[in-house]
Chain A
Amino acid sequence: MTHGGARIAAIGLLTGFGHGVEALPDDAEGAAAGRDVVPIATPPVTGDRFRRATRECVLGVAAVDAALRNAGLTRDDVRGSDTALVYVTAAAYGAANRTFAGAAGGPLHFPYTAPSAVPAEVAIEFGFTGSYVILIGGSTATLEALWHAASLVRRGAAARALVVAVETFAECADLYARARRLLARPLVEAAACAVIVPDAESPAWQPAAGAGPLDALARRRAGETLACGPLVALALGADGRGPAAVTGYWRGRRTGLGWPATSAI
C-alpha cells in the first residue's frame, strides 16, 4: 500500500544536557562552561546481552525508547518487519576503533568497530526486521536519512520508520582538539530518534543558502551535535505552528529539507 507522504510523529532526544528539549539550556556555550566536550551519561541498561555493547549502542536503544514513549507506542507495536530503521552518525564509532587498534579490545570487540554495530544492537533489542539503512556523515546525512525514511513509508515498504542518530566524542576528545577549526564548540554528545509515519504530504528538498532559523536555534541551545543536529532542530520546531524546514551543513555542502504544515510533531 502506498501513501501520499509521511510526517514525523515524535522525536526522542538525549543530550549531554539531559533528556528532551526541556533540558537544553538557552546558551549551550555558556552552559558548557569552557568544556570542549559535554558528555552524555550512559543510560542504565539491564540484561547480559549488552555486556560487550559500546556506550553508543546503549544510547541508540535509549533514544528509541524515548521516541516510542513520546509517540505513545509500545515495543510490541513496532516489533517486526513493518518498522524500518535508518541510522546515521558522523562520529559514534571512533572510540571503538581506537580501543581495538590500541589493543585494549579483544577479538569479540572487533564487531563493535563498525558503525553498523549501533543499529544492529537497536534492531536486536526491539526486534526490527524490516528495511534497514545506515548513513555516515553530519547533518546533511541526517536529512538524507529523513528523506529515505519518508520514502520507505510513502512507498509502503514500511508502516513506520525510525531515524536514529547517535554522536559521542569523549573518548576521542584529544583527536577532536586537533580538528578545532573544523568543528564548532562545544561538542555535545547526543542520541535522537524520530518516528516517521504515513501522512498526506511528503518532505521535499529545498535549496539552502545558509543555516535556517531552526538550525541556528539548535546550534545555540544544543551546541555541535553533528548528525543529531537536524533532529534537535525538528524537536525544537515542534510547536505545531506550521511547516518545519531544516538545513544541514557538512564539509562544504549545505542542503535543506522542508516538512509540510501537516507534519507538526
Chain B
Amino acid sequence: MQKVLLSGNEAVARGAYEAGVGVATAYPGTPSTEILQAVADNYPDIYCEWSVNEKVAVEVAIGASFGGVRSLSAMKHVGLNVAADPFFSLAYIGSATGGMVIVSADDPSMHSSQNEQDNRNYGRHAKVPVLEPADSQEAKDFTVWAIKISERFDTPVILRLTTRISHSKSVVELGKPLKPNKATYEKDVNRRMILPAIARKMRIKVEERLKKLTEWGEDCPLNIMEIRDKKAGVITCGVTYQHVREVAPELSTLKLGMVYPIPPKLVRKFTDLVKELYIVEELDPFIEMELNHMGIFPKKGKDVVPVLYELNPERVEAALKGEPDPISPPMPPDIPNRPPVLCPGCPHTGVFYNLHRMKARVTGDIGCYTLGALPPLSAMDTCVCMGASLGNALGLEKALGEEFNKNLFAIIGDSTFIHSGITGLVNCIYNKGNTNLIILDNRATAMTGHQPNPATGVTLKGETTHELDLAELARACGASYVAEVDPYDLAETRKALEEASESEGVSVVISKRPCALIVRDEWKPALRVDVKACNGCRLCLQVGCPAISMKEKIAVIDQVLCTGCGVCAQVCPEEAILEKAVI
C-alpha cells in the first residue's frame, strides 16, 4: 500500500475514512482542529460540520449512530468537559448500531490551552475504553479499531491524542476502507431513553461491558509487549513510548495501545518476565494507579517521572537515571523574550486600546484576543474558560454593586460567544444585571486558523448558510443598548463603550471588522513616520502593534508588517504618522 507523511490529526481523518465513518463533527480547538479540516478537504463522502460547541458536536454524532451510521466527534481536552453531559449518557446508551469515536486531543505543557488535563481519566470516570496511539500510523489504525470496538462492545471509544501526536508528522501506510453500515432507524426506547428505570438496567450493562473489554485487552493487537533486556521493563503509552525507546533502547516495553481498561493478566505476564518494573507516563499516574489497585508497585514510577508538563527524551532519560528533571532546556541568559502578540492590523487592538485608556475592569474569554491581557494593552483582568466572561462580570456586579459595574466590561469573541456565551447573556438579562458586553466579531474562529462559524454564514464545507445576526440576537435576548462599531475608529468605539456603561440594563457593543489575516488583499499601504514631526513621545507604542518600534528616539513603522489600519495615527498627538504619499 501507498506510504504518505501525515500528521496525527490527518491520520485520524484518514482512519475515519477507512473505518467507514459517515458523520464527523467538531468545534475547533488546538491541537485537534486539523482533524475535521482534513476530513472536509479529503473525504467528500463524509458529512462533516463545525458544530457550535463540543456538546452539540457529540449530540449530532450520537444522532448519526442512532441512525446506523458510524460517527466521529473531535475536540481538544477541555472540549470534552463541555461535551461531558452527552458523553456520560452515551456511555450508558452505547453505540452498537453505529460505532462512535470521541477524539480528545490533550495539550500537555499547555502550548495553546488554559490547563493541563489528562483525559485518560475520562475513560475510567465514564467506564469507556481509551485508545492512545504512539505515532501517525497508529492514529489512523486506532481510529479504525475504535469504530470496531465501539460496535462490538456497544460503547463509545475515546481516542486520546496529545499535541506531540496531533502535530507531529510521520510515515503512514494507508489501508483499505471498511464497508460502511447501512443507514437505518428502528425505534428502541429501551436503548435510547435514558430514564431512571431504563438507566438502572443500562448501569448493569456498563459494568459487564467493562469486564468483557478487560478480557479482550489481554491479547488484543493494540497492547504490544516487546521483550529485550529482561533486567528491566517499562509500561508506557502514547508518544512517551517513543521517548523511552529513544533514550533506553535496551529496555523491554509493554506499550498499552488500549490504556483503559488495563488487562491484569497481560501486565502480570510482563512483570514476571522482567526483573524491575518501571512505569513511564506523561501527566497523571494513570497506569500506575490502576496497577497499584492490582497490587503491583513499580520500582520507578511517578516518584521519579515528573507529573507536570509534557515529557521529552531528556526528561525521560533523567528520570530513569535518577537525575534532576531538566524541566526547561538550557538557554542563553539575558536575552529578550518573544511572547505571542496580537497581529499588526488586528481589529481587537482598537477596543483594547480604548479599554486600557478608560482604565476599565475587563472579564475576558478564550481566543486570540486573550492576548489583549499582555502589556502594553494590559486590558483584560480575568480568563476562566470558554464563555465565562459574562457570568464572571455578573458575579462581580452582584458582589460589588452597580457602581463597580460602571467601568466593568465582559469581552468575548464571536465564535466563543456562540459556543457558550449566549446562555451567559440570557442569564445576565434574566437576573437583572447591568453588564456591559463587548463581542469582538472578526468574522472567524481566528486562533485555530480562521474557521467559519454561524456569524460568518459559511459552513465547514464552504457552503453559504444563514448568517447569524449578533445584534438582532442581543436585542432578542433583551439587551437594552446595542451598538455596532468599527474598532479601527477609536473615537467611535470609545463613544459606544461609554454609552454602554452609562445605559441601564445589559448593553452589548459589537466590534465588527474581519481578522486582518483573512483580508490581506484589503490591506492599505504601510504608514510612515514623519521624522520631523515625531517628538519621540512613545504614545504610539501603547497600541501594542508589532510593526511599531523606536529607533534613535523616533518611532519607526515596519513597512512589511504594517497593514495601514491607521489606529496608531489616531493616537499620535503630533499627527506624525501619515500615509506614504503625504510625506
A binds B: no
- A interface residues (Cβ-Cβ under 8 A, vs B): none
